[in-house]
Amino acid sequence: MDAFCLDLLHKHFQALDIPPDFAPADPGSVEVLRASALAETLENAYRDPDFCAFADLYGKGRTDQAAGNTILHVYDFLRALPDYDRRLDEYLTPWQRENGFAFTCWHDLLLAEAARCAKAARELLTAALADCKEDFVLAQVQAEEKGKTAASKAKAVAGVNDKFAEPLSRLESAAALLGEVERLAKTYRVTAYPTFLILNSKGEEVGRLLGGAKTPEDFIARVKAELENIGK
């Protein structure tokens, strides 16, 4: 609090209904009050299953320090904004809608980042598969060169085949799965995650659900409601 504001408060303390001998809190006292308020807030928040999920995501081990620090960072950010109550309502409004995350500014940013990471993973996977195949061929050639008889060569090559069988299979399966995911996303124009598609026997889309649910029962109810709409 600067000197001008402090002088203004001292001169008009009666209008603010505060004691005339008030004094600004020192940094130590402020931290104690913040810690006490945060502890009370966390205690009340843990009654909410959604907050428990948040704490599990941001917490480390048996402490909720990370979750508490996140709350304080958000609080300090909001307090620095003019008319922070109104801004907070604006930030929360999209989350009140079904699949509210899709209507926030974070959706496109995180989706783009996820796409970038997926593309990088695909490139690494493709490179790893190509390297593994090259190493496999080279190992086969070296195994044949070391063998002095047909039987020893066959045994050496069989050992190479056994050595590379599992990693090659896993890489090829992963590449095939990733390719199928990309094909489905393109075919059905999936632009948000999670997206649940309802298909008929011909593989044609007849319904879709965006976003998950808080409980399995809620998700089942959403699926039933969508199926009822399809049947109308």
Q: What is the pLDDT of residues 22-68, one digit of tens each?
A: 777 788 888 899 999 999 998 998 888 888 888 887 766 667 788 88
Residue 12 lies in a domain: yes
Number of domains in the chain: 2
Q: How many CB atoms neighbour CB 164 within 10 A?
A: 17
Q: Which domain holds residue 215?
A: 194-232
Residue 72 domain-assigned (yes or no): yes
207: which residues sit within 8 A by CB, 6+ positions away? 197, 198, 226, 227, 229, 230
Among the three residues 80, 115, 149, which one is the final residue of a domain in this structure?
80
User: Final residue of a domain: which of 48, 80, 112?
Assistant: 80
What is the model's pLDDT at position 13? Answer: 80
In a domain, 202, yes or no: yes
Within a domain: 71? yes
Does 219 map to a domain? yes
Question: Is pTM, for the whole model, over 0.75?
Answer: no
On whether residue 230 sits in a domain, the answer given is: yes
Structure tokens at 200: 């008929």
pLDDT of 132 reads: 94
| Residues 99-121, mean pLDDT to the nearest whole number | 83
Within a domain: 55 = yes
Last residue of a domain, one of 52, 80, 108: 80
Does residue 43 lie in a domain region? yes
**Residues contacting 221, CB < 8 A, separation 6+:** 213
Mean pLDDT of all residues in 202-213: 85
The CA distance from 187 to 179, in Å, is 12
Using alpha carbons only, give the angle 153, 154, 157 rounded to the nearest 5 degrees: 85
Rg for the chain, CA atoms, rounded: 30
Contact between 192 and 111 under an 8 Å Cβ cutoff? The reply is yes
